[in-house]
Amino acid sequence: MSFLGIDLGTGSLKLAIIDDEGREQCATSVAYAIDTPRPGWAEIDPQVWWRALCEAASRFPDAQRGAVRAVGFSGQMHGVVLSDAQGKAVRPAMLWPDTRALPLLDAWPAPQPNPVAPGMAGPLLRWVAQHEPQSMHAARWALQPKDWLRFRLGGTIETDPSDACATALADPSGAWDNALLERLGLPRDWFAPLAASYAACGTLSAEAANALGLRAGIVLATGAGDTPCAALGSGLANDGDALLTTGTGGQILVLATDEPDAAPGLHRYRAATDHWYRMAAMQNVGVALEAVRGWLSYEWNDAYRDAFEFEAAPGLTFLPYLTGERTPWLNPAARGGWLGLALGTSRGAMMRAAFEGVAFSLRAGLDAIRQSGARVPALRLAGGGSVDARWRQLLADALQVELHAVDCPNAAARGAAMLGGIAVGHWNAGDLAALAPAATRVAGPRDETELAARYARFIDLYGRVEPWFASPSA
């Protein structure tokens, strides 16, 4: 008996199959690109996700696919898919990096229970209501990405609290805000009813089973957002457990038994189980490093080599805010670049400054969590962007924490698969702590006085250049 986890990410779809003891048996992924038809837009045809899923599933041996008894889902958060009653998208899906709705955030005046970003479903749907009446007329459902994919596989129309509470259209518990929906002119019946992340949510259709090489009729779990799935798959089970994920963006989350108090710049969301978590969300991690690598014409191996072979260039700072920023600045209009360049500055020095700038942006988010009262002496580490030993050491030094790498390269997909196992009754919530993967200490903070000074310069420089941006608070 085994369970399949589908992690529908921003830049790739990942699959992982785990056995009845929670051990990963096989995994694969298929990458795809975001469409940017206009500046600030971030879209994708959902059929790209479907084709990626079919291709990824075809890579597994028939015997592995035949043993799957349930499927769970992990999905990129905040974006939205408008579909008709049969699940056909009426326009491209709009994704979290999208900033077209930036001028429309006045519908969410402060204070809000959670920070609101333009790439969340609420602002994006408000934009659709104002600019695309034909899409409004054709739509039957406004679904989160993983919920669209589950519906495509034969599942029922439902969503879970961890995804709903991150739309800017629901309260922190995930319950839809009917008064807000009415004020925005969004039909209440667009939005799926809530179900637990680990609840059974339909079964795999014969058509989808044939496309994926799975057995028809196996249970589909509701699923959860990718961040809470990564927390589950990484072994977070108790109050105070903390995780750093690095991918396109970065998240630092701390699990909590009770609903955390509101804090400036931080999110408080429902977890995939019955916990809560407080979270710092930073938008510019892998997306910023990948952009810099391209600008400097580096292959990744050479980028790491040149960035860490020499000392950092004095006075050179990189602000990584290429897509705005959430924690701690809450400024979608923030932008980035190098400050302190000289004629003799090398490519390697620019790459090193980019790594440091991303690490400093994560530190600013962690500082916000610490200021909220949470102690974070150590972080579990997950995500494809955190495997190089030199990068891990820089993160430990910048964040001033111990880092413990989780022995689970596909944490979100594993967490999704675990939800499938719970949905069919193989596990229950009390089993989760025992299923935690091993974690190895890979880096600890050193007394880096010069790095601390560069972080202070980073914070000071951001404060100085922020007035140049079209800040929504201006």
Q: What is the pTM of this model?
A: 0.84
Please give the pLDDT value at position 384.
Answer: 60
pLDDT at 241 over 60: yes
Q: What single-letter DSSP state applies at residue 325?
A: B
pLDDT at 370 over 70: yes
Please give the pLDDT value at position 391.
Answer: 95
Compute the distance between CA of residue 328 and CA of residue 264 in angstroms, rounded to an integer: 8
Cβ contacts of residue 11 below 8 Å, gap of 6+? 31, 32, 33, 34, 247, 248
Please give the pLDDT value at position 380.
Answer: 93
SS3 state of residue 467: helix
Compute the distance between CA of residue 31 and CA of residue 14 in angstroms, rounded to an integer: 9
- Residue 25: its H or E element: strand 24-31
Give the mean pLDDT of 16-28: 95
Sheet holding 439-443, edge to edge: 267-270, 276-282, 250-256, 242-246, 378-382, 402-406, 439-443
β-pairing, 12-19 with 242-246? Answer: unpaired
To the nearest 10°, report the CA torsion of 96, 162, 12, 332. Answer: 20
264 φ, ψ (degrees, to nearest 5): -55, 130
pLDDT at 126 over 50: yes
Please give the pLDDT value at position 431.
Answer: 83
Of 12 and 409, more confident: 12
- Convert the pLDDT of each residue in 165-208 to its tens digit: 999 999 988 999 999 999 999 999 999 999 999 999 999 999 99
Residue appearing with tokens 């695309």: 132
Give all domains of the chain, ordered by start, each with its CATH number.
Answer: 2-227 (3.30.420.40), 235-407+444-474 (3.30.420.40)
Please give the pLDDT value at position 311.
Answer: 83
pLDDT at 385 over 80: no
Please give the pLDDT value at position 72.
Answer: 98
The region of weakest confidence among 144-158, 325-339, 458-472 is 458-472
Please give the pLDDT value at position 474.
Answer: 37
Q: What single-letter DSSP state applies at residue 80?
A: B
Asked if 12 and 98 touch (Cβ cutoff 8 Å), the reply is: no
The neighbouring-strand residues paired with 142 are 82
Please give the pLDDT value at position 473.
Answer: 44
pLDDT at 34 over 60: yes
- Convert the pLDDT of each residue in 410-426 to its tens digit: 889 999 999 999 999 99
Least Cα distance to 422 among 28, 32, 71 occurs for: 71
- Convert the pLDDT of each residue in 69-78 to its tens digit: 999 999 999 9
Asked if 368 and 222 touch (Cβ cutoff 8 Å), the reply is: no
**% residues pLDDT > 70 (the chain):** 98
- Convert the pLDDT of each residue in 300-358 to its tens digit: 999 999 999 988 888 999 999 998 898 999 888 899 999 999 999 999 999 999 999 99
315 φ, ψ (degrees, to nearest 5): 80, 5
Residue-wise burial string across 225-254, b where 16 or more C-beta atoms lie within 10 A, e elsewhere: bbbbbbbbbbbbbeeebbbbbbbbbbbbbb
Mean pLDDT (the chain, rounded): 93
- Convert the pLDDT of each residue in 43-60 to its tens digit: 999 999 999 999 999 999
Type of residue numbered 77: M
CB atoms under 10 Å from CB of 280, counted, come to: 28
**% residues pLDDT > 90 (the chain):** 77
Least Cα distance to 230 among 385, 70, 56 occurs for: 385
The region of weakest confidence among 69-78, 92-101, 262-271, 360-369 is 262-271
pLDDT category of residue 215 using cuts at 50, 70 and 90: very high
pLDDT at 361 over 50: yes
